[in-house]
A and B are shown apart, each in its own frame.
Chain A
Amino acid sequence: AQKVTQAQTEISVVEKEDVTLDCVYETRDTTYYLFWYKQPPSGELVFLIRRNSFDEQNEISGRYSWNFQKSTSSFNFTITASQVVDSAVYFCALSAPYNTDKLIFGTGTRLQVFP
């Protein structure tokens, strides 16, 4: 069975703080994809990153960085120098496209960044 766990329900930080959102996944598939999406109050799911199971390189995009560790089945997301505009719900998701078309979401982490 596939499962994504985001243990942090809600995180509050003050602007300019660094924050890490945790994601742990379970899957029996050897080929799979991991995603992070941002959902602002407007409702749209904004794609942030896709990582396939064969690529364990960490990635940095501006203030965002991702740490993929297959050994611990984790795909954590760090925002450096957080800003108020980062306030949103962040979802980690798993897809095993060779097995299913489903995108399995974690329960989400609500991030509030205060000025």
Chain B
Amino acid sequence: DTEVTQTPKHLVMGMTNKKSLKCEQHMGHRAMYWYKQKAKKPPELMFVYSYEKLSINESVPSRFSPECPNSSLLNLHLHALQPEDSALYLCASSQVSGTGTFMDRGYTFGSGTRLTVV
């Protein structure tokens, strides 16, 4: 079982809908990440939260809105998405951010949410 839990596993939404993706970890990691992965492409970083504060935003459109309510939870709020936003959205966590110290695995990824925008 993965130690980073993402819900839902699959999501189909219309372009006028508002939905949220959720990510949860209980490993005590203080850095959490959202990655977007299009088909047959590598994951691309979207956002990084470090100690519950947004530290990196990779010029992501405002229709994607991240939120980190506490050190264990990470949300991605979606609004007015386009069909080209259809992708696998992966959440990850790591022990610390920006200090170069990792536990064994470095980054632990969830199974992802497969999003389809219609």
Kindly supply a per-residue 1/0 record for chain B positions 37-53, scoring 1 wherever the CB is within 8 Å of any chain A CB and 0 otherwise. Answer: 00001111100101000
A44 to B104, CA, bound (A): 18
Measured between beta carbons, the chain A residues less than 8 angstroms from B99 are: 97-98
| Known A47-B106, A50-B106, A97-B101; contact A103-B111, beta-carbon cutoff 8 A | no
- B31 is an interface residue with CB less than 8 A from chain A: yes
Interface contact A98-B108, CB-CB below 8 Å: no
Which one of A91, A95, A100 lies within 8 Å of B106 (CB-CB)?
A95
- In the complex, the chain B residue whose C-beta lies closest to that of A47 is B105
A37 to B50, CA, bound (A): 23
Interface contact A50-B90, CB-CB below 8 Å: no
- B77 is an interface residue with CB less than 8 A from chain A: no
The count of chain A contact residues (Cβ–Cβ below 8 Å) is 22
Min CB gap B36→A, angstroms: 12
- In the complex, the chain A residue whose C-beta lies closest to that of B101 is A97
Interface contact A45-B90, CB-CB below 8 Å: yes
- B55 is an interface residue with CB less than 8 A from chain A: yes
Kindly supply a per-residue 1/0 record for chain A positions 80-97, scoring 1 wherever the CB is within 8 Å of any chain B CB and 0 otherwise. Answer: 000000000001000101
- In the complex, the chain A residue whose C-beta lies closest to that of B4 is A44
Measured between beta carbons, the chain A residues less than 8 angstroms from B33 are: 101, 103
Min CB gap A71→B, angstroms: 23
- B79 is an interface residue with CB less than 8 A from chain A: no
What are 29 A-B residue pairs whose CB atoms fall within 8 Å in the complex? A33-B106, A37-B109, A43-B90, A43-B114, A44-B110, A45-B43, A45-B92, A45-B109, A47-B107, A47-B108, A50-B104, A50-B105, A91-B43, A97-B99, A97-B101, A97-B102, A98-B98, A100-B56, A100-B98, A101-B48, A101-B50, A101-B56, A101-B97, A101-B98, A102-B48, A103-B92, A105-B44, A106-B42, A108-B42
